[in-house]
């Protein structure tokens, strides 16, 4: 990764690494060791949650793609952004999920930067809503 990247370029870079390239090796280049993410259910800390999130998405969905990244508000310390992802449900033990069905969902993220690293994020995902609504 180019160390002179702007913060929004770091977000695009790491999302491409995690989703498109199926690679988690650049996590430590973008996320601080004290990284924490706040979701609607609970807070998670460390790089392991990023690795688990990427692995779970790829295990659950085929043809995972980044549809769009929108940077909505940017300051030196914060970026408010939205990502749209799409994938096809892989076969699983869950009989309620139709294999091959394509789902697309949005996630709204606020990323906080310090010393060039993402230190904290707030994530609101529509993944479960998209998954459930597509099954009817």
Domain ranges in the chain are 7-133
Contact assessment for residue 112 and residue 118, using Cβ atoms and an 8 Å cutoff: yes
Q: Which CATH architecture has domain 7-133?
A: Roll (3.10)
Smallest CA-to-CA distance from 89 within 78, 77, 98 is with 98
Q: What is the pLDDT of residues 48-102, one digit of tens each?
A: 999 999 999 999 999 999 999 999 999 999 999 999 999 999 988 777 778 898 9
pTM, rounded to two decimals: 0.90
């Amino acid at each position: 990764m180019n160390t002179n990247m702007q913060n929004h370029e770091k977000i695009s870079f790491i999302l491409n690494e995690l989703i498109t390239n199926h690679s988690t090796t650049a996590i430590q280049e973008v996320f601080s060791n004290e990284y924490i993410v706040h979701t609607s259910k609970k807070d998670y800390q460390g790089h392991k949650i990023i690795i688990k999130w990427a692995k779970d998405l790829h295990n659950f969905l085929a043809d995972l793609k980044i549809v769009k990244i929108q940077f909505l508000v940017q300051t030196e310390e914060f970026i408010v952004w939205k990502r749209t992802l799409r994938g096809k449900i892989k076969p699983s033990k869950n009989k309620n999920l139709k294999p091959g069905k394509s789902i697309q969902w949005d996630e709204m993220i606020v990323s906080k930067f310090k010393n060039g690293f993402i230190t904290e994020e707030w994530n609101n995902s529509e993944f479960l809503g998209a998954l459930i609504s597509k099954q009817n």
